Amino acid sequence: MNRAGDNLEDGVLLAVVTTQKEKVYGGGVPIFLAKDKKEMESISLLMSRLFKAMAHDLENGVWVIYRQ
Amino acid sequence: MGLGIGTISRIVLLKNDYRNYPGYPHGYVTHISLGFIAAALGAVAVPALVEKEYTAVTFLALAAQQFREIRNMERESLKKIENISLVPRGEGYIEGIARVFESRNYLVMATALGTSIATYLAGWIYGLIAGSIIIAISYSFFMKGKVVGDIAEVVPVKPYFKNTLLMVEDIVIMNVGLPESREKIEKEGIAVLIKPKDDNARATLHDPSQRQAIIHTGATLLGTKAEIGEQEWTPLARKNIDTGEIGFFLLANEPDKMALVEAVNRTPVLESAKRNILSTKVSRYAAD
């Protein structure tokens, strides 16, 4: 269960969403390419709700979906 | 005599459990019955000893064993709820509650014992008086744990965003990606800054369990918009590592700043989080 803040367990990175694929390297999690900022936001919103996770903005055009 | 007073003392101690626990009739029944048993054990000890029945003492030992069981029972049942709750109490809080339940039964036993000694020595009126005094002492002394308001100053502040980072004063709480979420948090979120009064308080607030207890109290009393699968609304408390101040952010159902201050003020200081580092020489030396 999500128990953010209580126990200091590690969270898990579920996905990366970006408009600039050259900024993301390597694998492990799926990388979703969005055509613009708007799509990036909507994909992130949907995924954060679907995965019960949180969308974090790295402020460089890359978003990560992370579950605590 | 001892039996009656002991049971009454358990009821008195129970009635004042305002922290929503046990919040249901069955919880009361369990604890009053166990309190009754504790009182009975305390009460029969004196007449048994007078009759030179020393085996009565072993019953007391047996009782202690039973009460440890109560502690386990409380801990287990609270932990089970914890797994599915959105704003958990935290391990420290649970441990504290369980310990309190155990020790209150000892108090009941002591009350019954004291009352029946007094009754035996001086008659039932004195028994009554002794019982009331013991209840009064245990009530005022043991029920009055410290609260956060005693060790820290709580001031309301407005949470704001520095780009995507949610801030309470200069403490970073979390990164919120979605602009809509940021807008909502900026509009409705409330926060307080908890300033420890001394190094003891700072060490106490440093404890994650203590912070979780504060979060739990705040979120319970004001309501929280935290929802399954929507982590943005989760209340969080983070520390300013340089000053030891705690920033506590909450997206409340009732966004009333002063109510939040009050909620934080009355959060109990957990026994497991309580620190008294200033009592050591090293720490006093380090503090100047």
Phi and psi at residue B161, in whole multiples of 5°?
A: -110, 135
Cα of A4 to nearest chain B Cα, Å: 8
- The token pair that represents B280 in the structure block: 């050591």
Q: Are B164 and A6 a contacting pair at CB < 8 A?
A: no
Q: Tens of pLDDT along chain B (288 residues)?
A: 666 666 666 666 655 444 445 556 666 777 777 777 777 777 777 777 777 777 777 777 877 787 788 788 878 888 888 877 888 888 888 888 888 777 777 877 788 788 778 877 777 777 778 778 877 787 777 766 788 888 899 999 999 998 889 988 889 998 888 888 899 998 899 999 999 988 888 888 898 889 998 998 888 888 888 888 788 888 989 999 888 899 999 998 888 888 889 888 888 888 877 777 777 777 777 766
pLDDT value for B279: 78
Phi and psi at residue B229, in whole multiples of 5°?
A: 80, 0
Q: Are A54 and B177 a contacting pair at CB < 8 A?
A: yes
Quote the CA–CA distance of B99 and B120 in Å, as a whole number. 32
Q: Are A6 and B212 a contacting pair at CB < 8 A?
A: yes
| Cα torsion through B174, B177, B181, B187, rounded to 10 | 60
Nearest to B230 among A6, A49, A56 (CB): A49
Nearest C-alpha neighbor of B9 from the set B105, B122, B89, B123: B105
Interchain contact B179–A (C-beta under 8 A):
yes
Q: Are B28 and B228 in contact (CB under 8 A)?
A: no
pLDDT value for B14: 59
- CB contacts under 8 A, B 101-140 vs A, are none
**Residue of chain A minimizing CA distance to B216:** A6
The per-residue DSSP string of B128-163 comes to: HHHHHHHHHHHHHHHS---BHHHHEEEEEE--EEET
| Bridge partners for B72 per DSSP | none
Interchain contact A21–B (C-beta under 8 A):
no
Nearest to B178 among A41, A52, A68 (CB): A41
Tell how far CA B238 is from the center of its chain.
Answer: 20
Interchain contact B6–A (C-beta under 8 A):
no
pLDDT value for B16: 47
Q: Are B105 and B41 in contact (CB under 8 A)?
A: no
Does ipTM surpass 0.90 in this model? no
Q: Are B37 and B110 in contact (CB under 8 A)?
A: no
Cα of B216 to nearest chain A Cα, Å: 10
Nearest C-alpha neighbor of B247 from the set B182, B170, B179: B170
Q: Are A57 and B84 a contacting pair at CB < 8 A?
A: no
Interchain contact A39–B (C-beta under 8 A):
no
Interchain contact B25–A (C-beta under 8 A):
no
- The token pair that represents A48 in the structure block: 């954060």
Interchain contact B177–A (C-beta under 8 A):
yes
pLDDT value for B18: 41
Interchain contact A57–B (C-beta under 8 A):
yes
pLDDT value for B246: 92
pLDDT value for B123: 74
Phi-psi label, residue B244: left if phi above 0, alpha if psi -120 to 50, beta otherwise: left
| Cα torsion through B93, B97, B99, B103, rounded to 10 | 150
The pLDDT confidence band at residue A6, using thresholds 50, 70 and 90, is: very low
Q: Are A30 and A16 in contact (CB under 8 A)?
A: yes
Query: A38-60: per-residue pLDDT in tens?
Result: 899 899 989 888 888 888 888 88
Interchain contact B162–A (C-beta under 8 A):
no
pLDDT value for B221: 86
Phi and psi at residue B179, in whole multiples of 5°?
A: -60, -35
Nearest C-alpha neighbor of A5 from the set B264, B79, B87: B87
Q: Are A4 and B178 a contacting pair at CB < 8 A?
A: no
